Structure 1
Amino acid sequence: MHSPEPVFSLEFFPARDEASSERMLQAATALNELSPRYVSVTFGAGGSTRAGTLAAVQALRAQGYDAAPHLSCIGATRAELRDLLAQYRELGVRRVVALRGDMPSGMGPMGDLRYASELVSFIRAETGDWFHIEVAAYPESHPQARSPDEDLKHFVEKMQAGANSAITQYFFNADAYFDFADRALARGITQPIVPGIMPITNYSQLARFSEMCGTEIPRWIRLRLASFGDDRASIRAFGHDVVAGLCQTLLDGGAPGLHFYTMNQSEPTLGLWRELDI
């Protein structure tokens, strides 16, 4: 499923109530004009949004999207994963995002599978080549990795287990992405590693997310964003310029596409997409 043309895709998260579901669908409707290759739908810690992910996938498919659900092995048994894969296969879903997943606080058993590489192997054993499997990559290293080399080792294991391609955690340093991609290639990984792109719209939210996932916000960007205070228009305008420049650098450097974390909003991604003339 390699393509000589860059692959552009979007991510949504499942709604927790009727109002947020309506907002997600409104954003999805607005973004449909972009004709992305596919959209992914996230999965809560420990599978806490499993039903919501399935419902969102069905709703997005009804809008004409090729929707790829996230699957997490944390807290799930093989039987539960087998049943979920069967449900998605019956719906005609052909792409999934296989993740270890986050452990929610107070959770008990880890589940039958501990690592994303085991989940990829399980999906292949159960379904053969039915699914195009995406996995996660961390250009700045997974926050729980003991070293960049250990993080790369785990990434290589996922790809060798049968993954077709990877989506990165978002980042703001293009050099980190290119360095990671070069090191993966040196280890024999030739599958596409697509950069994940986070539009900047809210500084406090971005700082909180970045602290949790280990993404570095360069000092000059942090200082500029902080200087705008509550001026949301200025934050969005500056953020747009920063992220648009990052995207162009990545594409000019040979990145195989871009995966936009929409946060269930349409305008920031629409603005970047049009700026880049995708």
Structure 2
Amino acid sequence: MSGTLSFEFFPPKTPAMEESLWRSIQRLAPLKPDFVSVTYGAGGSTRERTHSTLQRLLAETQLVPAAHLTCVNANRDEVDEVAQAYWDAGVRHIVALRGDAPADAAGNFTRYLPHPEGYAFAVDLVAGLKRIGDFEVSVAGYPERHPESADLSDDLDNLKRKVDAGATRVITQFFFEAETFCRFVENARKAGITVPIVPGILPVTNFAQVQKFAKACGAAVPDWMGGLFEGLDGDPETRQLVSASVAVKLCEKLRDNGVEDFHFYTLNRADLTLAICRMLGLGARVPASVA
């Protein structure tokens, strides 16, 4: 395997979740990912948990951390302060995102409004980060276009601006058909985007939750997938087997089309991601006795 492997985690909200997160990290660390990213919330406590998780990754593991950073609910000075703190702590890779507006009381996503004194969009954040330090900067790509974009061309223009501002990698939103990713890459190359484009793979642990995620980010959930998970709400063992099979088949189809890099949205659940990586032969990156 000559490509890159990376994992996304989210910071824990409780001591029990912190314990679960570190078990997941320890389970996946032997695969020697090229980096692991930690998501970021707009709230103060969530921000602090992200920073704490990154510091622990640096202090207690050999993993290379990438910190998520968004434009939401902060002015430029506040965002710059967070970025500088990451740099001072030894973090050299930022996943720069516009971010989404917080959900309302009913759990529905509200309309994004830029902070009047903040970075309005991800392209502005990327440029700001490059002024602070020579960060490696990853940005988001949407194979089925961002739901707020007018059309695919508009979406690709925005992605090109992020790359021109200094982004060095695109990590895509999740998708479930290999053709969706391949078509996106082809269109991105035609638009002059030459940096690596890494597919974001989301193993399905909860089908209803995935449908909610997909609606929020504009991803399509194929009809055939619903049939695979129908009636499995109370059968987590079978659901996990089906999920692994779906993800492996998707990655194998991507490989058939020349894709070698994979980024897994782990949802802090190691067993499923580990099983998928092993079935794809990613465990061969290290001796079998270790992995």
TM-score norm. by structure 2 comes to: 0.89
Gaps of 5+ in 2: 105-111, 283-291
Q: Which residue of 2 aligns with 1:150?
A: 154
Q: Which residue of 1 aligns with 2:288?
A: none
- SS in structure 2 at match of 1:71: strand
Query: What RMSD in Å do the two structures reach over aligned CA positions?
Result: 1.8
Structure 2 residue identity aligned to 1:265 = R
What is the rounded CA distance, in whole Å, between the counterparts of 1:104 and 1:205 in structure 2? 17
Structure 2 residue identity aligned to 1:154 = N
Bigger mean CA deviation after superposition, 13-22 or 46-55: 46-55
Displacement of 1:198 = 0.6
Bigger mean CA deviation after superposition, 38-47 or 257-266: 38-47
What is the rounded CA distance, in whole Å, between the counterparts of 2:23 and 2:214 in structure 1? 26
Q: Which residue of 2 aligns with 1:18?
A: 15
- SS in structure 1 at match of 2:210: helix
The C-alpha deviation readout for 1:102-150, integer Å capped at 9, x for no partner, is 11147986241111011111111222xx211000001011122221111
1:112 to 118, 121, 124: 118
The C-alpha deviation readout for 1:192-233, integer Å capped at 9, x for no partner, is 010001112222222222222222110011122124342222
Identity %: 37
For the 8 Å contact 2:72–2:101, the answer to whether it is kept is: yes
Bigger mean CA deviation after superposition, 54-63 or 101-110: 101-110
The C-alpha deviation readout for 1:157-210, integer Å capped at 9, x for no partner, is 111111000100111011111111111111111100100011122222222222
Displacement of 1:256 = 4.2
TM-score norm. by structure 1 comes to: 0.93
Displacement of 1:255 = 2.1
User: CA, structure 1 residues 38+16, in 2 after alignment: closer, same or farther (shift >3 Å)?
Assistant: same
Structure 2 residue identity aligned to 1:143 = P
The C-alpha deviation readout for 1:213-271, integer Å capped at 9, x for no partner, is 22211001112212434222222111111110101111221224000111011101100
Q: Which residue of 2 aligns with 1:226?
A: 230
Q: Which residue of 2 aligns with 1:169?
A: 173
For the 8 Å contact 2:84–2:132, the answer to whether it is kept is: no
For the 8 Å contact 1:77–1:112, the answer to whether it is kept is: yes
* Residue-pair matches, total: 273
Q: Which residue of 1 aligns with 2:289?
A: none
For the 8 Å contact 1:47–1:74, the answer to whether it is kept is: no
What is the rounded CA distance, in whole Å, between the counterparts of 2:132 and 2:205 in structure 1? 41
Q: Which residue of 1 aligns with 2:70?
A: 72
User: CA, structure 1 residues 47+170, in 2 after alignment: closer, same or farther (shift >3 Å)?
Assistant: farther
What is the rounded CA distance, in whole Å, between the counterparts of 2:139 and 2:229 in structure 1? 31
For the 8 Å contact 2:101–2:113, the answer to whether it is kept is: no
Does the alignment pair 1:133 with 2:127? no
2:219 to 181, 205, 215: 215
What is the rounded CA distance, in whole Å, between the counterparts of 1:176 and 1:234 in structure 2? 27
Structure 2 residue identity aligned to 1:146 = A
Structure 2 residue identity aligned to 1:18 = P
- SS in structure 1 at match of 2:230: helix
Bigger mean CA deviation after superposition, 143-152 or 6-15: 143-152
What is the rounded CA distance, in whole Å, between the counterparts of 2:279 and 2:183 in structure 1? 26
For the 8 Å contact 1:74–1:101, the answer to whether it is kept is: yes
What is the rounded CA distance, in whole Å, between the counterparts of 1:257 and 1:14 in structure 2? 24
1:206 to 201, 204, 210: 210
Displacement of 1:276 = 0.3
Q: Which residue of 2 aligns with 1:241?
A: 245
**Structure 1 stretches of at least 4 aligned residues deviating more than 6 Å after TM superposition:** 106-109
What is the rounded CA distance, in whole Å, between the counterparts of 2:219 and 2:94 in structure 1? 24
Structure 2 residue identity aligned to 1:225 = F
